[in-house]
Structure 1
Amino acid sequence: MTFTEPVRKYILSGVVAFVVIGLIVANVMASKQDKTFETNENLYNQAFQLQTEGNYEDAWEAISEVLKAEPNSEIVNYLAAIIAANKGDLKQAAIYMQKTLDINPHKVEDPMFMIQLGELFVAVEKYEDAKTVLLRCQEWGWTTEEMPNYQEHVATLLAQIENLE
Structure 2
Amino acid sequence: MTFNEPVRKYILSGIVAFILVGLIVANVMASKQDEKFAAKEALYNQAAQLQAEGKFEDAWEAISKVLKGEPNSEIANYLAAIIAANKGDLKQATIYMQKTLDINPHKVEDPMFMIQLGELFVAVERYDDAKTVLLRCQEWGWAPEEMPNYQEHVATLLAQSENLQ
Give the TM-score, by structure 2 length: 0.98
C-alpha deviations, 1:68-120, integer Å up to 9, x for none? 11111111110010001001111110011001111111111111000000001
Residue 11 of structure 1 is matched in structure 2 by 11
1:111–1:142 contact (8 Å) kept in structure 2: no
Give the AA of the match of 1:132: T
Cα offset for 1:145?
2.0
Cα offset for 1:162?
0.9
**What is the root-mean-square deviation in Å for CA atoms of aligned residues?**
0.8
Deviating 4+ runs (over 2 angstroms): none
SS of residue in 1 equivalent to 2:125: coil
Residue 154 of structure 1 is matched in structure 2 by 154
Residue 124 of structure 2 is matched in structure 1 by 124
C-alpha deviations, 1:114-139, integer Å up to 9, x for none? 00000011111111111000000001
Give the AA of the match of 1:126: R
Ranges in structure 1 where 5+ consecutive residues have no aligned partner: none
Give the AA of the match of 1:58: D
Give the TM-score, by structure 1 length: 0.98
- Between the two proteins, the alignment pairs up a number of residues equal to 165
- Aligned-pair identity in percent equals 85
Cα offset for 1:6?
1.4
2:127–2:162 contact (8 Å) kept in structure 1: no
Give the AA of the match of 1:153: H
Superposition pairs for residues 63-142 of structure 1, below 5 Å?
63-142=63-142
Cα offset for 1:163?
0.7
Cα offset for 1:142?
2.9
Instruction: State the alpha-carbon separation in 2 of the partners of residues 128 and 18 from structure 1.
Output: 61
Matched, 1:29 2:29: yes
Pick which of 140-149 and 57-66 moved more. Answer: 140-149
